[in-house]
Amino acid sequence: MRVLVTGAYGFVGNAVVRRLVEAGHDTVVLTHRPADVPLPELPISEVFRGDIRDPNALTAALDGVQGVCHLAALTRVRESFERSEEYQAVNAGGTVTLLDALASTRVGSKVPTVVLGSTAAIYGAPERQPIGEDTVPAPGNPYGTSKLAADRALQARAERGEIEAVSLRCFNISGSVNGVGDADESRIIPKAVAVAAGRHPHLEMNGDGEAVRDFVHVDDLARAYVMALEAPASAPFRAYNVGATPASMREIVATVERVSGREVPVVHRPPQPEPPRLVADISRITTDLGWKPECSSLERQVTDAWSAVSGSSR
C-alpha cells in the first residue's frame, strides 16, 4: 500500500521507513525540516515538507495514502514540564489535524489504517507489574498526558468508522538501524554510550541504580509497525504494548562498559521518588500479531547503540 510516515527522519522513523520499504510498501514521508536543510538518505518515493499541524501540508502528503505511521511528536519527558502547551499542541493537536486531513482526503470505501507511536508514559507508575494494556491510564507528566490525548482521539475516530487504528505503546527504545541511533542523551543508554565515547565526563544516576525499566530494540519496534499496518483488523481500535527486556540502570552501565571496553564513571545522586519497576506485558501483541522481540537482548541493544556513536560495526 501507499504509506505516509510522519517523523520519518527521527530515530524510530528511520527504522520504520526501512522496514516498510523492505516489505514492499510505497513509502512517502512528511518532515518539518526546512527546505534548505539537507535530509539523510532514505529509500522513499517522495518527501513532503510541512508541520504536522498544517492542514495544507497534510492534504498534499496524504494524497493516495492507504496507511499512516504517525511518529511525529515531541518526546522529552523533562522538557514537557517546561513546554506543556507546545507538547499538547504538537502531540495531541497535531494528531487531530492529521485525522481531520485524512478524513477529507479519503477516496473510496476502504478506510485507511493509522498506526500511532504511543508510549508507556500514558500509564504513569502503576503498582501492578507487568503493565497490561487494560491498565487505567494515569500519566505523571505533560508528555504522557499529550500522548494519551492522541491515543483517545485515534480511538474515537476508529469507533466512528473513519479509520482502522493501532496504538503501539512503546516502552524504552534503543539500538540503531543503518548507523542511526538515539541522539537524545536524556535517556540512559544514549547517555551511557556517550560517556563511554568521551563526550561527557560521567553519568549521573539517582540512588543505587536498581530501578528496572523495559527496553526494546528499534528494529524490533519497526517490525511491529509493519505487522500492525498489515494485520487484518480484529477491532476498529487496537492497543499493544511493545517492550522486551527489563534491565536495571546498573546493568546498563555494566553492559556499556563491557561492550565498549571503556569505563563509564557514575556520580550517584540522592534517590528520587520513582517506581522501582516498570515493565511491559506483551502477551497481547504476541498473540494478536505474532510479534516477538528478535534482537532486543540488552547486549545487542547496547552494541548497536555503541556502534552508532563510535562508528564501529557489529
Active site residues: 143
Helix (H), strand (E) counts: the chain: 11, 15
Q: Which residues contact 232 (CB under 8 A, 6 or more apart)?
A: none
SS3 content of the chain, % helix, strand, coil (to 5): 40, 20, 40
Local structure of 103: helix, strand or coil: helix
SS3 annotation, 58-87: HHHHCCCCCEEEECCCCCCHHHHHHCHHHH
109 Cβ neighbours under 8 A, 6+ residues apart: none
How many whole angstroms separate alpha carbon 314 and alpha carbon 305?
10
> 224 and 242 in contact (C-beta within 8 Å)?
yes
Q: What gap in Å lies between CA 294 and CA 15, rounded to an integer?
A: 15
Pairing of strands 176-177, 180-181: antiparallel
Are residues 221 and 285 in contact, defined by beta-carbon separation less than 8 angstroms? no
Q: Which residue has the cell 563526550?
A: 199
Q: How far apart are CA 162 and CA 236, in angstroms?
A: 9
- Give the bridge partners for 241, in sequence order: 169
Inter-CA distances, 81 with 143, 170, 191, Å: 8, 21, 21
